[in-house]
């Protein structure tokens, strides 16, 4: 059998005659497939298939600009396909009906084609006479009904099929004549997609996350822009997976055309035969190639206009069109399984067990049907030790010693075998940068467990305790230094990789110990339990914190022992977990969170019906001692997520969940109260989900996240009833429960009626009035909100229900006005607005209520009672506003100056608002009516400080305070209108003289002060600014912007200020030390001074202390901040103020610096910084610096210029996110292009520097790609 003939015409004829029922549909599909393979992208194509066969009309219609003779004519064609034994009768019948049903105009431009699969060599006399086909054709043509007439019989079809082996493969499969030497992408996809079905696998399982591979396949298969593609992978099968998956994901039209020309070739011999095909095909090589043979075979295919897809091990000679096929990420595999129809939990279980190994996943789906090659090799026992360790780092001597203890071999001898196995086909062991790790743990565990005996378990017990007992060296450092543990801390004996690997082995021993078939029954589980018990036997807080990252795995290794140890520790008087909480930092450089691992461990166990109660009891104990922190992982949050009614994170039954909450409420009632508030219904709620077990099957495979509506309602009702019991008559708790009054289903709880009854109970009515006020305020607020938003479906309740609450509110309302009216004086007025009127009308209504309240209080107890009142409300300022606005009661003598002198902030807040409101009504007439002659200086200063910051106030200050006026200037604010600038210069001077430079600077936010006459005051404010002043970055930045644009300012003084405020200006986005940087570029002596001062301590000729180096304060400042000045310098020498670049200016400036440092090492330093600042020199439209700058940088004598430029380019990128090498590749291409421009203009040295930078970025990109693919954890 040749590649071109899979089915002959006799076989086709025999099958059609013997399978008449199937034949019509299959032959139509055969023709359709042949048409798709022969004519890509036709103008129109319609061949009804499968269930559509039998529809009225032709069996096929086609319109193509390019024909495929002798089978497909150019232009329009109508196809009739018959499988009847009497082909002549069928041909005549179809011809007649087609002619009658097709308009003459259409027929004149359409070819009529009749297809029969029957052979012309068998029973011909029963169908056609000798030469009958040609005679029939000529007779029909003579009728001139159609543009042309064609007949394709079985002989023609087989000839046509022979040109497209993929179609022949399909036909052979259909009639049980399937070839063995090659496969098609379509058939291969049919095979692998059926693994484990139902459900069938989705293409995304194989192509999700592989955008680069998909793009390259699209270029080759769809666009035909490439003729070869090499997949670099350790797993040769991945090539077939992704090609077949990619084609299966295509739209149907594209898929039919493309897959008919894709062949998967299984041998070199068949590959050579396939090269003889006349039509272009795509060959997927599914056999091993040596290098010389591979090149020869590929070139042979390319010479015959075929395309080739093949796989190769990563590395080696670069290829022009290669693509790395990395192992997929676990979450990507999970998405593919879910799309296939697997449940979330089943998908999670399968992907956890298979790791990142698609081959392992497919075997798991099939039920482990066959052994991989690496199980049967002679080195399998060494491989078993490797998988028992899981992962390690070969640079760690401690890791090597552990391996030697377990294997009984020298590490150098042992690793030779491991390297050999790691290169084997589909071996689940990966190596990257010294780190060895099994990409899949579950499959190797099952296959290699038989090589692990009891003696290895005994050794493992010792090494596991030794490794996991080691304390984290970061705890020897202060929190703010822990990020640098690798530099500042002691080096751990063992790598973190082997810690994680050993911990996962423990989890496997406890959960899947049965795989160790040559160990005594129960021995693996016993070993795991012993190790966990030993590790957690009364460790201190540092030991617990050091185990943080592996605790979830230890919990799965031995759940009962883990819970006993953690539970016992949490209940001891000297529990260690307060110490663990105390180790928590503030994030980033300030240290991390070391309780998260324990929380995740307990969350994992809480999924189990068996362990839920104990796990949640421990979480409650932890919540009780949790001091809070900056991290979201808190035991209280874990509890809420576990029991959340609409999304419970446990597979335990409802009864068990309710029992757990009852248990917590009896042991930790305060924790339970906060938990229940998080579980009761909300309009908007969210969940963070909880940690799920990796190896224990606590979660059923059919688990679906979420809860039914009825279960959610029942849970909420149960939690509400417990909350009601815990609330008692505590007003703060009852107030919180009022939020849920209308939110619980009355058929499942009497919560609302019980709460209403309790609010009216004798016990609540006997509470002090200020406590009842809490309940009354909450109740009235709820009633008001429901009435205000009654047109909203979420807020609407029947009015009769609100009237019931009105009655309750009336009963519990406090009677004393000094208590009852507290609710009117909140910080926010809008919370108290009622009615449908305008905002101003609502405000006036509220003001009137406040006035009446004050009047009633004053009438009852005078101003003494009023004073106690304003000290008891949320906002004393609102009382001051109301009283100041209520002239009949406003008695200045009763309030002033006492409220200003009491020293109580509540009195002062009241007095400020009172004074401001009185002034707004009476203005200066009122001010002058206040007799303050007998007041203290402090009271006068406070009084005038609360008047507008204008000249009228300052005039009175000068009169009333005279020599003590500084008391006013030391405390006054500038919050009043800035439209009145009379004598503002006087005010600025007084503020500066009284140490209020920060307030003076704040005045410059008013742009009317941006005049030259005020610039001197702004500069003085900066000069007098000290550590006692408040830093307002925006105000200081705006002032610098103003001064830098003022030509009249003394630039030397401004430079000093830019140095003084350098750190702030470096951070402020709207202001920069532009004058300082320009001086550096214009004054070589100044630049030399900074270089000399900053690097003096490093000079061999002068070694001085910082104190000795500073002859004056300015030099001391430069010493401390000079490095920051140089690093931020962005104004290159030669760049004029108008933006023009002056080459002579650059050269003369550089020469002056060189002469200054001619005999000093500082010239090397200086030239490096000169190269750095030239990064900011003008560039042309292509990104290359202008010629004068390139001339300078290309200097033969000063390579340091180019080194500095390279450093600045590299550093200019700043902080950036990990991009899997994509951004680095963009930068590599950018600087390679600029390097080419430089070289093309003759700047060889500069071009070489830029090219080395480009190469560096390219290497970074390659490293990042590898790093991303080897992020196992």
pLDDT digits (tens, 9 = 90+) for 1138-1178: 889 999 999 999 999 999 987 778 899 999 999 999 999 99
- The per-residue pLDDT for 1105 is 47
CA atoms within 13 A on the CB side of 1118: 23
- The per-residue pLDDT for 313 is 66
pLDDT in tens, 1205-1264: 999 999 888 777 777 788 899 999 999 999 999 999 999 999 999 999 999 999 888 777
How much of the chain, in percent, has pLDDT values that exceed 70?
A: 93
Using the predicted structure, report yes or no on whether residue 1273 has a pLDDT greater than 50. Answer: no
Using the predicted structure, report yes or no on whether residue 9 has a pLDDT greater than 80. Answer: yes
Using the predicted structure, report yes or no on whether residue 1102 has a pLDDT greater than 60. Answer: no
For the segment 324-335, the average pLDDT, to the nearest whole number, is 85
- The per-residue pLDDT for 133 is 84
- CA-angle at 1244, arms to 1241 and 1245, nearest 5°: 135
Given 3-state DSSP classes, what are the helix, strand and coil percentages for the chain, each rounded to the nearest 5?
60, 5, 35
- The per-residue pLDDT for 369 is 46
Exposed e or buried b per residue across 659-693, where buried means at least 16 C-beta atoms within 10 angstroms of its C-beta: ebbebbbeebeebbbebbbbbbbeeeeeeeebbbb
- pLDDT: which is higher, 1030 or 673: 673
**Full 3-state SS string of 655-682:** HHHHHHHHHHHHHCHHHHHHHHHHHCCC
**Residues with Cβ within 8 Å of residue 1202, at least 6 apart in sequence:** 1171, 1193, 1194, 1245, 1246, 1249
For the segment 709-724, the average pLDDT, to the nearest whole number, is 96
- The per-residue pLDDT for 370 is 57
Question: What DSSP character marks residue 327?
Answer: P
Residue 713 neighbours by CB distance under 10 Å: 18
Residue 1260 neighbours by CB distance under 10 Å: 16
**Residues with Cβ within 8 Å of residue 107, at least 6 apart in sequence:** 99, 145, 146, 147
pLDDT-based confidence at residue 290 (cuts at 50, 70, 90): low
For the segment 956-980, the average pLDDT, to the nearest whole number, is 84
Spatial separation of the C-alpha atoms in residues 1137 and 1148, rounded to whole Å: 17
Using the predicted structure, report yes or no on whether residue 1075 has a pLDDT greater than 60. Answer: yes
Quick one: which of 389, 399, 387 has its CA closest to 495?
399
pLDDT in tens, 973-1010: 886 555 667 888 999 999 999 999 999 998 888 767 77
Handedness of CA 1056, 1057, 1062, 1066 (dihedral sign): negative
Burial degree of 1178 (CB within 10 A; 0-12, 13-18, 19+)? middle
pLDDT in tens, 448-470: 999 999 999 999 999 999 999 99
Domains of the chain (ranges; CATH) run 9-166 (3.40.1350), 180-346 (3.40.50), 371-508 (no CATH), 536-727 (no CATH), 819-930 (no CATH)
- The per-residue pLDDT for 1117 is 66
Using the predicted structure, report yes or no on whether residue 1183 has a pLDDT greater than 80. Answer: yes
Enter the pTM of the model. 0.73
Q: At what angle do helices 154-161 and 9-18 cross, to 10 degrees?
A: 120
Q: At what angle do helices 344-354 and 330-340 cross, to 10 degrees?
A: 140
pLDDT in tens, 100-127: 999 999 999 999 999 999 875 544 444 5
Using the predicted structure, report yes or no on whether residue 916 has a pLDDT greater than 50. Answer: yes
Partners of 392 in the β-ladder: 436
For the segment 296-315, the average pLDDT, to the nearest whole number, is 86
| Average predicted confidence (pLDDT) for the chain | 89
pLDDT-based confidence at residue 1266 (cuts at 50, 70, 90): low
- The per-residue pLDDT for 1103 is 42
Alpha helix (H) residue ranges in 668-791: 669-679, 709-727, 731-737, 751-759, 762-765, 769-788
Distances, alpha carbon 817 to alpha carbons 306, 859, 872, 886, 1003, in Å: 96, 10, 12, 18, 44
pLDDT-based confidence at residue 318 (cuts at 50, 70, 90): low
Spatial separation of the C-alpha atoms in residues 522 and 510, rounded to whole Å: 9
Using the predicted structure, report yes or no on whether residue 298 has a pLDDT greater than 80. Answer: yes
- pLDDT-wise least confident of 278-287, 583-592, 666-675, 761-770: 583-592
Question: What DSSP character marks residue 394?
Answer: T
pLDDT in tens, 856-909: 999 999 999 999 999 999 999 999 999 998 878 788 888 999 999 988 999 999
For the segment 444-451, the average pLDDT, to the nearest whole number, is 90
- pLDDT-wise least confident of 195-199, 259-263, 1000-1004, 1017-1021: 195-199
Structure tokens at 1218: 């990990």
- The per-residue pLDDT for 1110 is 42
- Find out whether 348 and 270 touch, Cβ atoms under 8 Å: no
Partners of 68 in the β-ladder: 72
For the segment 15-25, the average pLDDT, to the nearest whole number, is 85
Burial degree of 379 (CB within 10 A; 0-12, 13-18, 19+)? middle
**Residue with structure tokens 């042949």?**
34
How much of the chain, in percent, has pLDDT values that exceed 90?
A: 63
What are the φ/ψ torsions at residue 431 (nearest 5 degrees)?
-130, 135
Spatial separation of the C-alpha atoms in residues 101 and 71, rounded to whole Å: 24
Alpha helix (H) residue ranges in 1160-1221: 1162-1173, 1187-1193, 1199-1211
- The per-residue pLDDT for 131 is 64
Spatial separation of the C-alpha atoms in residues 1001 and 769, rounded to whole Å: 50
Q: Which helix (H) or strand (E) holds 1094?
A: helix 1084-1094
Spatial separation of the C-alpha atoms in residues 1254 and 1250, rounded to whole Å: 6
């Amino acid at each position: 059998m040749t590649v071109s003939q899979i089915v002959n015409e006799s076989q086709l004829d025999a099958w059609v005659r013997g399978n008449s029922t199937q034949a019509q549909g299959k032959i139509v599909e055969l023709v359709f497939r042949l048409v798709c393979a022969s004519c890509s992208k036709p103008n129109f194509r319609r061949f009804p298939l499968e269930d559509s066969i039998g529809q009225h009309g032709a069996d096929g219609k086609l319109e193509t600009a390019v024909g495929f003779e002798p089978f497909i004519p150019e232009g329009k064609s109508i196809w009739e396909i018959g499988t009847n034994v009497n082909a002549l009768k069928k041909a005549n019948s179809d011809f007649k009906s087609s002619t009658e049903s097709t308009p003459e105009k259409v027929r004149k431009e359409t070819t009529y084609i009749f297809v029969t699969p029957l052979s012309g060599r068998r029973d011909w006399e029963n169908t056609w006479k000798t030469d009958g086909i040609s005679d029939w054709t000529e007779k029909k043509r003579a009728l001139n009904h159609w543009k042309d007439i064609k007949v394709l019989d079985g002989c023609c079809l087989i000839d046509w099929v022979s040109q497209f082996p993929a179609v022949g493969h399909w036909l052979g499969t259909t009639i049980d004549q399937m070839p063995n030497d090659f496969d098609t992408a379509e058939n291969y996809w049919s095979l692998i997609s059926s693994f484990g079905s139902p459900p069938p696998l989705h293409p995304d399982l194989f192509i999700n996350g592989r955008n680069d591979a998909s793009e390259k396949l699209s270029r080759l298969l769809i666009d035909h822009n490439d003729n070869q593609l090499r997949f670099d992978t350790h797993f040769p099968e991945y090539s077939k997976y992704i090609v077949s998956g990619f084609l299966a994901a295509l739209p149907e039209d594209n898929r039919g055309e493309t897959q008919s020309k894709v062949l998967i070739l299984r041998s070199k011999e068949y590959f050579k035969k396939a090269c003889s095909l006349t039509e272009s095909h795509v060959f997927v090589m599914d056999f091993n190639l040596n290098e010389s043979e591979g090149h020869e075979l590929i070139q042979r295919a390319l010479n015959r206009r075929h395309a080739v897809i093949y796989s190769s091990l990563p590395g080696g000679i670069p290829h022009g069109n290669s693509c790395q096929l990395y192992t997929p990420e676990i979450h990507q595999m999970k998405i593919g399984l879910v799309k296939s129809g697997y449940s979330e939990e089943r998908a999670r279980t399968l992907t956890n067990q298979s790791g990142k190994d698609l081959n392992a996943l497919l075997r798991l789906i099939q039920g482990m049907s066959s052994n991989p090659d690496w199980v049967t090799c002679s080195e399998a026992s060494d491989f078993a030790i490797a998988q028992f360790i899981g992962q390690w780092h070969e640079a760690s001597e401690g890791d090597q010693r552990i391996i030697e203890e377990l294997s009984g071999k020298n590490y150098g001898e042992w690793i030779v075998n491991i390297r050999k196995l790691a290169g084997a086909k589909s071996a689940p062991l990966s190596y990257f940068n010294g780190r060895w790790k099994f990409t899949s743990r579950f499959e190797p565990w099952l296959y290699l467990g038989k090589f692990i005996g009891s003696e290895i378990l005994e050794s493992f017990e010792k090494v596991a305790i030794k490794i996991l007992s080691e304390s984290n060296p970061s705890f020897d450092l202060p929190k703010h230094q822990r990020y640098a543990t690798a530099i500042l801390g002691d080096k751990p004996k063992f790598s973190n990789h082997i810690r994680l690997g050993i911990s996962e082995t423990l989890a496997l021993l406890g959960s899947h110990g049965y795989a160790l078939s040559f160990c005594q029954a129960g021995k693996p589980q016993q070993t795991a339990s012993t190790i966990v018990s030993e590790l957690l036997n009364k460790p201190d807080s540092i030991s617990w914190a050091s185990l943080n990252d592996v605790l979830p795995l230890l919990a799965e290794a031995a759940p009962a022992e883990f819970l006993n140890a953690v539970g016992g520790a949490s209940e001891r008087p000297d529990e260690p977990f307060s110490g663990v909480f105390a180790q928590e930092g503030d994030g980033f450089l300030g240290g991390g969170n070391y309780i998260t691992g324990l929380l995740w461990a307990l969350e994992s166990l809480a999924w189990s019906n068996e362990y839920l109660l104990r796990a949640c009891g421990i979480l409650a104990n932890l919540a009780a001692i949790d001091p809070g922190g900056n991290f979201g992982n808190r035991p209280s949050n874990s509890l809420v997520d576990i029991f959340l009614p609409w999304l419970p994170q446990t597979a335990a039954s409802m009864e068990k969940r309710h029992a757990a909450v009852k248990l917590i409420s009896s042991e930790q009632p305060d924790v339970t109260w906060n938990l229940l508030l998080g579980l009761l219904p909300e309009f908007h709620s969210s969940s963070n989900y909880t940690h799920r077990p990796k190896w224990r099957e606590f979660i059923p495979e059919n688990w679906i996240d979420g809860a039914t509506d009825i279960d959610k309602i029942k849970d909420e009702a149960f939690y509400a009833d417990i909350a009601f019991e815990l609330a008692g008559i505590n007003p703060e708790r009852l107030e919180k429960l009022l939020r849920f009054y209308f939110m619980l289903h009355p058929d499942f709880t009497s919560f609302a009626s019980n709460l209403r009854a309790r609010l009216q109970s004798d016990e609540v009515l006997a509470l002090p009035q200020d406590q009842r006020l809490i309940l009354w305020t909450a109740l009235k607020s709820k009633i008001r909100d429901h009435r205000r938003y009654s047109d909203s479906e979420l807020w609407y309740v029947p009015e009769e229900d609100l009237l019931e609450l009105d009655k309750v509110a009336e009963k519990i309302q406090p009677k004393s006005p000094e208590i009852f009216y507290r609710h009117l004086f909140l910080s926010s007025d809008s919370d108290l607005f009622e009615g449908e009127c305008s905002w101003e009308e609502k405000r006036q209504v509220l003001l009137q209520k406040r006035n009446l309240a004050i009047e009633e209080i004053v009438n009852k107890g005078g101003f003494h009672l009023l004073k106690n009142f304003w000290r008891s409300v949320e906002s004393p300022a609102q009382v001051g506003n109301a009283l100041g606005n209520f002239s009949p009661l406003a008695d200045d003598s009763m309030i002033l100056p006492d409220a200003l002198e009491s020293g109580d902030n509540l009195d002062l807040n009241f007095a400020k608002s009172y004074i401001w409101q009185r002034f707004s009504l009476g203005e200066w007439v009122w001010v002058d009516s206040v007799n303050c002659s007998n007041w203290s200086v402090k009271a006068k200063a406070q009084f005038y400080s609360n008047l507008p910051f204008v000249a009228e106030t300052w005039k009175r200050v000068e009169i009333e305070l005279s020599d003590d006026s500084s008391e006013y200037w030391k405390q006054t604010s500038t919050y009043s209108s800035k439209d009145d600038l009379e004598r503002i210069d006087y005010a600025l001077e007084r503020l500066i003289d009284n140490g209020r430079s920060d307030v003076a600077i704040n005045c410059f936010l008013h742009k009317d002060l941006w005049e030259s006459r005020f610039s001197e005051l702004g500069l003085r404010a900066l000069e007098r600014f000290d550590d006692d002043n408040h830093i307002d970055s925006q105000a200081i930045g705006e002032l610098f912007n103003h001064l830098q644009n003022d030509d009249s300012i003394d630039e030397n003084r401004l430079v000093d200020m830019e140095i003084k405020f350098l750190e702030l200006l470096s951070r402020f986005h709207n202001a920069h030390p532009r004058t300082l940087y320009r001086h550096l570029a214009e004054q070589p002596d100044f630049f030399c001074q900074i270089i000399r001062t900053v690097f003096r301590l490093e000079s061999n000729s002068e070694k001085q202390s910082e104190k000795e180096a500073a002859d004056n304060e300015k030099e001391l400042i430069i010493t401390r901040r000079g490095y920051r000045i140089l690093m931020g310098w962005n104004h290159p020498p030669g760049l004029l103020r108008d933006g023009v670049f002056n080459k002579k200016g650059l050269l003369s400036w550089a020469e002056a610096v060189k002469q200054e440092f001619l005999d000093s090492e500082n010239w090397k330093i200086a030239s490096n910084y000169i190269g750095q600042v030239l990064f900011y020199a003008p560039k042309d439209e292509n990104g290359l610096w202008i010629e004068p700058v390139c001339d300078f940088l290309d200097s033969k004598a000063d390579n340091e210029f180019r080194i500095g430029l390279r450093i600045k380019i590299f550093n200019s990128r700043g902080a950036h996110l990990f991009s899997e090498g994509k951004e680095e590749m963009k930068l590599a291409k950018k600087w390679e292009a600029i390097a080419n421009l430089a070289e093309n203009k003759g700047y060889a040295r500069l071009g070489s520097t830029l090219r080395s930078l480009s190469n560096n970025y390219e290497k970074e990109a390659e490293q990042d790609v590898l790093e991303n693919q080897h992020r196992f954890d």
